[in-house]
Structure 1
Amino acid sequence: MAELFKRLQEEMKAAMKSGDKDRLSTIRMLISEIKKVQIDSKKELTDEEIIAILQKYVKQRKEAYEQYAKAGREDLANKELKEIEVVQEFLPQPLSEDELTKIVEETIKEVGASSVKDMGKVMKAVMDKVKGRAEGSVVSRIVKEKLS
Structure 2
Amino acid sequence: MLRDTIKAAQVAAMKAGDKPRLSAVRLILAKLKDKDIELRTAASVPDDDVLVVDVLQKMAKQRRESITLYEQGGRQELADTEKGELAVIEEFMPQQMGDAEVQAAIAAIIADTGAAGMKDMGKVIAELKARHGSQLDMGKASGLVKAALV
Deviation larger for 45-54 or 79-88: 45-54
Q: Which amino acid aligns with 1:142?
A: L
Alignment equivalent of 2:109, drawn from 107, 110, 135: 107
Provide the residue aligned with 2:98 in structure 1. 96
Q: Give, in whole Å, the separation in 2 of the partners of 1:4 and 1:127.
A: 20
Gaps of 5+ in 1: none
Aligned counterpart, 2:36: 38
TM-score when normalising by structure 1 = 0.94
Q: Structure 2: how far apart are the matches of 1:129 and 1:90?
A: 20
Amino acid at match of 1:17: K
- Which runs of structure 2 are paired with 1:38-77 in the superposition (5 Å)? 38-42=36-40, 46-77=48-79
Identity %: 33
> Where has structure 1 moved over 3 Å in runs of 4 or more?
none
Per the TM alignment, residue 101 of structure 1 is displaced from its structure 2 partner at its CA by 0.8
Q: Distance in 2 between matches of 1:45 and 1:32?
A: 18
Q: Who is 1:137 aligned against?
A: 139
CA contact (8 A) 1:68 1:76 kept: yes
* Shift, 1:137, TM fit: 2.1
C-alpha displacement at 1:65, in angstroms?
A: 1.1
Structure 1, 29-38 or 41-50: larger mean CA deviation? 41-50
- Tell me the secondary structure at the aligned position of residue 54 of structure 1: helix
Equivalent in the alignment of 2:130: 128
Q: Tell me how many residue pairs correspond in the alignment.
A: 146
Partner amino acid for 2:58? K
| Pair 106,51 (structure 1): closer, same or farther in 2 beyond 3 Å | same
Deviates more, 1:91-100 or 1:138-147: 138-147
The two structures, once aligned, show a CA RMSD in angstroms of 1.3
Aligned to 2:26: 28
109-118 or 5-14: bigger deviation: 109-118
* Partner SS state of residue 133, structure 2: coil
